[in-house]
Amino acid sequence: MNFTFPIDALQQHQTPFYYYDMELLNATLNSINNEAGNYGFKVHYAVKANANDRILSTIKEAGFGADCVSGNEVKKALETGFDAQGVVFAGVGKADWEINLGLENDIACFNVESIPELEVINELAEKKGKIARVALRINPNVNANTHHYITTGLEENKFGINQWDLENVIKALATLKNVELEGLHFHIGSQITDLLSFKELCLRVNEIQKWFISQQILPKVINVGGGLGIDYEQPDEGSIPDFKSFFKIFDEFLELQPEQEVHFELGRSVVAQCGALLTRVLYVKNGVNTKFAIVDAGMSDLLRPALYQAYHKIENLVSAKETEKYDVVGPICESSDCFGKAIDLPQTGRGDLIAIRSTGAYGEIMANRYNLRELPLAYYSDEV
């Protein structure tokens, strides 16, 4: 199943905009449901990757839960119709109003990242006469071998509770009457392409589980987070990530106790390949060693290249001329406003329609109004 561009229809719209292939999204969701279903695994969609209304409701319809990292994400998930029992709330810095919102809506679980947070949740739950279900986010100290900005599971990162602090957490839990331990939560990072990192995570989870069991604690849920990477280089060859191999690793290496549930929080792998940022060339300008294709999308529309030096495949959808090298840059007053250097494109001219691929995840949602630019619009394959 490949991403397709209805070029004539897309030419009717003013650029820049995001374009979503809903068939590819649905095929991806089916693949996840089939592969995770084989093992009875439960998948929560990481709303942070893309909270566009159409995308979110399609994912809800496919039966996923929602992994939220802010009060507004919790609100959005509930408004979209996700069942509160499928909503989990993570994040190192939950504000009181956000915790209260979760409590009032009886969400499934708070993923807790520190003892002070556990105490605050307990206090707020007590005020409401409720018991909050919590999972402990444990820092497994596993290296995800990914960009350092999106590595989260190392002791030096701000995320999670370190293993040497677990005894104190257990002591705290014994005294806090308005929180109930539901599970253990892990997440080692994002855009992980070496599946061995997930095997390492499983082995670490087994060790940590053993320790909990030795303390007479049996967590009901093991949440192993998200992080499965996608093929940015070849979006068409890898349009649906290899969910089969991914889930198989957890089936093979996690040592589960009877009745235990395994939960996942997938973001990028669900939505990245179904989105593209469409932009037009405004000018082609000769530089000293290079040609610049100056396009009408900028880092305000797609931040990933500027923020993480991320690679996205760039295609000229309308030219079939001979290939030349271009630096594809945006109009924003920053040198980092560059989508790719020395990119091979068929000879490109003013007005050509350009696609920046694999931008369904962390694209539209990270857009901002720098330089007072408008936020990008979105169109969908079943509506163009």
46 in contact with ligand LLP (CB under 6 A): yes
In the window 329-358, what residues touch ligand LLP (CB under 6 A)? none
Nearer to ligand LLP, 228 or 295 (CB): 228
58 in contact with ligand LLP (CB under 6 A): no
Q: Which stretch binds ligand LLP (CB under 6 A): 17-25, 100-108, 193-201, 225-233?
A: 225-233
Q: Which stretch binds ligand LLP (CB under 6 A): 80-88, 102-110, 260-268, 282-290?
A: 260-268
Q: How buried is 64 (Cβ within 10 angstroms: 0-12 exposed, 13-18 middle, 19+ buried)?
A: buried
Minimum CB distance to ligand LLP, residue 304 (Å)? 5
Nearer to ligand LLP, 272 or 281 (CB): 272
Q: Provide CB contacts within 8 A for 290, sequence distance 6+.
A: 325, 326, 327, 341, 342
In the window 261-320, what residues touch ligand LLP (CB under 6 A)? 265-269, 304, 308
Phi, psi of 290 (to 5 degrees): -150, 165
118 in contact with ligand LLP (CB under 6 A): no
Q: Which of 3, 243, 250, 362 binds ligand LLP (CB under 6 A)?
A: 362
- d(C-alpha 45, C-alpha 50), whole Å: 10
Site size for ligand LLP (CB under 6 A): 21
Q: Which stretch binds ligand LLP (CB under 6 A): 125-133, 187-195, 214-222, 249-257?
A: 187-195
Q: Provide CB contacts within 8 A for 192, sequence distance 6+.
A: 144, 145, 146, 198, 227, 228, 229
Q: Which of 191, 239, 279, 358 binds ligand LLP (CB under 6 A)?
A: 191
281 and 16 Cβ atoms separated by less than 8 Å: no
365 in contact with ligand LLP (CB under 6 A): no
* Size of the chain, expressed as the number of residues it contains: 384
- Strand, coil or helix: 52: coil
Nearer to ligand LLP, 209 or 358 (CB): 358
In the window 66-85, what residues touch ligand LLP (CB under 6 A)? 67
* Structure token pair of residue 57: 């409701």
- d(C-alpha 245, C-alpha 265), whole Å: 16
- d(C-alpha 24, C-alpha 30), whole Å: 10
90 and 80 Cβ atoms separated by less than 8 Å: no
Minimum CB distance to ligand LLP, residue 319 (Å)? 29
What is the contact surface with ligand LLP in residues (CB under 6 A)?
46, 49, 67, 90, 150, 152, 187, 190-191, 225-228, 265-269, 304, 308, 362
